[in-house]
Amino acid sequence: MKLKSRLWQIQLAALLLLATVAFYLLRWQLFPTAVEHREMLRYIVGDVAFLFLQVLLVTVVIDGVTQHRQKEDMKRKLNMVVGAFFSQAGTELLGQIASTDATLGEIRELLVARASWKPEDYRYARLAFASHEGRIDLGSCDLVALRNILGEQKPYILGLLGNQSLLEHEQFTDLLWAVTHLAEELVVRPELTGLPASDLAHLTGDTKRAYLLLGTQWLDYLAHLQTNYPYLFSLALRTNPLDPEATVVVSA
């Protein structure tokens, strides 16, 4: 298909070039005097000179504006997918894992977003969470409930991975793969009680990987909501999975 499209473009370019040459030859014949030839050459040189300016305007200015708009549209669509993920599964999953993090309290104040936050506040919170040495205690986690959550959402998450537009969002794709892997690790185990310490350590590593990616993506998503969807941002603040004191009820 690409070869046929390129061949069509080459044929069109050749046809237009031949038509241009033919019309210049026709003009040369219709106006045979030396003065007219010099005038024709002057116009040709002027047209060619202006052609470089046209290329500059199209490739640098117009194309730059078009690419910027395309990137903004793509970013908006990607954020819609990210929002759907957190509404469907991400928020509940992040809250479930965060409840087992024994050291989350050390940085919790940095993660509780507020309406007054600026972009630098989100950057600082994201850095704090990404560098956070979370101590995940799966012994205090209901692994069966976690497995059920991930098992139910696995088809949905795999469907997201099939979305071609996500290829531009490497961080979110890594998150989906980490969550999918954690789901597979839990689902293939017939029993989740009485696991040896070595197996718990392996599961803890998989859980922590998904947890850190979930948390950083959640903070990016909050920043997006605050800028573009204040009403959704308000609900996200009141259901913040990193804030145990969050309540959906609007207080006075």
- Model pLDDT for residues 94-130, shown as the tens digit of each residue: 988 888 888 888 888 888 888 889 999 999 999 988 8
Q: What is the DSSP string of 47-78?
A: HHHHHHHHHHIIIIIIHHHHHHHHHHHHHHHH
Give yes or no: residues 97 and 220 share one domain. yes
146 in Cβ contact with 96 (< 8 Å): yes
- Does the pLDDT at position 3 exceed 60? no
Higher pLDDT: 233 or 12? It is: 233
Sequence length of the chain is 252
Helix axes 91-98, 143-161, angle to 10 degrees: 140
Classify burial at 173, counting beta carbons within 10 Å of its beta carbon; exposed 0-12, middle 13-18, buried 19 or more: middle
- Model pLDDT for residues 214-239, shown as the tens digit of each residue: 999 999 999 999 988 899 999 988 88
Give yes or no: residues 146 and 98 share one domain. yes
Give yes or no: residues 34 and 123 share one domain. no
- Residue-number span of the structural domain to which 28 is assigned: 2-67
Give yes or no: residues 204 and 179 share one domain. yes
Percent of the chain whose predicted confidence (pLDDT) is above 90: 17
- Model pLDDT for residues 15-35, shown as the tens digit of each residue: 877 887 787 777 777 777 777
Question: How many whole angstroms separate alpha carbon 77 and alpha carbon 166?
Answer: 9
H or E element in which residue 249 lies? none
Local structure of 107: helix, strand or coil = coil
- Model pLDDT for residues 32-86, shown as the tens digit of each residue: 777 777 777 777 777 777 777 777 777 776 766 777 677 777 777 788 888 888 8
Looking at the structure of the chain, the number of domains it has is 2
Residue 223 lies in a domain: yes
Give yes or no: residues 93 and 193 share one domain. yes
Residue 252 lies in a domain: no
